[in-house]
Amino acid sequence: MKTAFVRLLMLFVLTSAAGFAPALQVYHVVPGAAQLTWTGHAEVGTWAPTGTLQLRQARLEIADNAVRGGFVEFDMRTLAHTNDDLQTHLRGADFFDVARFPTATFRVREVANGTARGQLTLKGITLPLAFPVEVVRTPAGLRISGTATVDRTAYGVTYNSSGFFQNLGDHAIRNDFQLAFVLLATPQSPAARLARRGPSGAKPGN
């Protein structure tokens, strides 16, 4: 009798907890409307090349008016600069080796108190990353903006880094680069959510 009562109590607690679980809404980020701008810096002087990057796909999971998860996948093959030689160099093996690593992915763990936290996978290396972000509701959905600072050497991009090479002089390049972004996200219908899959063919949330 006691065992049956305990089981009934546990069932009641679990059912009650499920009833109060926040509803999860999936938002689809529109790749064509995204604005992504990267900036690098020389260690000496004011040289600071800047260019663009494009999204491949992205989605966000919203609950209780907060971002609770999701992913942003970048198409590294679109890494661009107005100087063709520099663009080719950045896409090559000295830097991001886009032929071998055509995508990079940021998996969102949470956005809280104006900071996004998650894991960035770049050149096959996955590390934690946090950066300031602003999420604003719009009539169409959400506008997400911010700037992430990434240490390229942590992902194996050591070209002309004074931390790895000596006597570089004015050829030295800072380890950190910035990626400024503006993303527009719209609510996804349940049917589209079932049909859509995450990066590399994985189901959302895997």
DSSP notation for 82-96: SSHHHHHHHHSTTTT
DSSP code of 16?
H
Share of the chain above pLDDT 70, in %: 81
Q: What pLDDT is stored for residue 1 in this prediction?
A: 53
pTM of the model: 0.82
Q: What pLDDT is stored for residue 188 in this prediction?
A: 81
Per-residue pLDDT at 196 exceeds 60: no
Find which of 44-48, 120-124, 189-193 is predicted with most confidence, using mean pLDDT.
Answer: 120-124
The three-state secondary structure class of 201 is: helix
d(CA 16, CA 1): 23
Tens-place pLDDT, residues 26-39: 999 999 999 999 99
Structure tokens at 160: 């002309």
Q: What pLDDT is stored for residue 204 in this prediction?
A: 46
Q: What pLDDT is stored for residue 65 in this prediction?
A: 83
User: Between the CA atoms of 194, 197, 198 and 203, what dihedral angle is there, to the nearest 10 degrees?
Assistant: 70
Per-residue pLDDT at 24 exceeds 90: no
Per-residue pLDDT at 193 exceeds 70: no
Q: Where is pLDDT greater, at 194 or 146? A: 146
Q: What pLDDT is stored for residue 191 in this prediction?
A: 52
Per-residue pLDDT at 71 exceeds 80: yes
Per-residue pLDDT at 56 exceeds 50: yes
Q: How confident is the model at residue 200 (pLDDT cuts 50, 70, 90)?
A: low
Share of the chain above pLDDT 90, in %: 77
Q: Where is pLDDT greater, at 19 or 183? A: 183
Residues 55 and 73 sit within 8 Å (Cβ to Cβ): yes
Average the pLDDT over 61-89 and give the result: 96
User: Tell me, what amino acid is at 96?
Assistant: F
What Rg value do the Cα atoms of the chain yield, rounded?
21
Domains, the chain, ordered by start: 27-189 (2.40.128.110)
Q: Where is pLDDT greater, at 37 or 2? A: 37
Q: Map tokens 């992902």 to a residue.
A: 155
User: Between the CA atoms of 89, 94, 100 and 106, what dihedral angle is there, to the nearest 10 degrees?
Assistant: -90
What is the sign of the dihedral through the CA atoms of 63, 66, 69 and 70? positive
Average the pLDDT over 195-205 and give the result: 53
